[in-house]
Chain A
Amino acid sequence: MTDMPDLPFRPFSPGSQPALDNPQYGSTAKRHPNHALVRLPMGQTVTEMSAPRFSPTRYPAVVDMTHGKNALGERIIVQGRVLDEEGRPQPGVMIEVWQANAAGRYDHARDQHDAPLDPNFHGTGLVFTDADGRYSFTTIKPGAYPWRNHHNAWRPNHIHYSLFGAGFAQRMITQMYFPGDPLLALDPIFQCTPDEATRNRLIAAFDLDVTQPEWALGYTFDFVLRGRGQTPFEENHP
Chain B
Amino acid sequence: MTAATASQTIGPYWHLLEDKSWANLTRFGAEGERIALIGTITDGDGLPVGDACVELWQPSPAASPTWDGFGRAATDVGGNYCFVTLKPGPVGGAPGANTPQAPHVALTLFARGLLIHLQTRAYFDGDPLNESDPLLASLDPPRRATLVARPVGEQNGIPTWRMDIRLQGVDETVFLEI
Taking Cβ atoms with an 8 Å cutoff, the residues of A that contact B are 6, 8-9, 11-13, 16-20, 22, 25, 27-35, 37-48, 50-54, 83, 85-87, 96, 98, 100, 106-108, 110-111, 122-124, 160, 162, 168-169, 171-175, 189-190, 192-193, 195, 198-199, 201-202, 223-227
Query: Taking chain A's interface residues, is the majority helix, strand, or loop, or is none over half, making it mixed?
Result: loop
Residue pairs across A and B with Cβ atoms less than 8 A apart, 8 shown, are A9-B178, A30-B44, A34-B169, A37-B177, A47-B104, A160-B8, A168-B106, A171-B55
A residues less than 8 Å from B8 (CB atoms): 18, 160, 173-175, 189-190, 192, 202
B residues less than 8 Å from A168 (CB atoms): 57, 106, 108
Contact call A45/B101, Cβ cutoff below 8 A: yes
Q: Which residue of B lies closest to A46 (CB)?
A: B59
Asked whether any CB of chain A lies closer than 8 Å to the CB of B20, the reply is no
Closest chain-A Cβ to B55's Cβ sits at a distance in Å of: 8
Shortest beta-carbon contacts, A-B, top 9: A27-B113, A52-B70, A37-B177, A18-B115, A31-B113, A13-B3, A30-B44, A16-B3, A42-B134
Q: Which residue of A lies closest to B115 (CB)?
A: A18
Q: Which residue of B lies closest to A45 (CB)?
A: B94
Contact call A17/B44, Cβ cutoff below 8 A: no
Given A33-B118, A42-B135, residue A17 in contact with residue B16 (CB < 8 A): no
Give 7 A-B pairs besides A16-B4, A225-B4 with Cβ atoms closer than 8 angstroms.
A16-B6, A27-B9, A28-B114, A47-B58, A173-B9, A189-B115, A226-B4
A residues less than 8 Å from B116 (CB atoms): 17-18, 20
Contact call B11/A160, Cβ cutoff below 8 A: yes
Query: Taking chain B's interface residues, is the majority helix, strand, or loop, or is none over half, making it mixed?
Result: loop
Contact call A41/B135, Cβ cutoff below 8 A: yes
Complex CA distance for A9 and B178, rounded to whole angstroms: 8
A residues less than 8 Å from B92 (CB atoms): 45-46
A residues less than 8 Å from B143 (CB atoms): 35
Asked whether any CB of chain A lies closer than 8 Å to the CB of B99, the reply is yes
Closest chain-B Cβ to A108's Cβ sits at a distance in Å of: 5
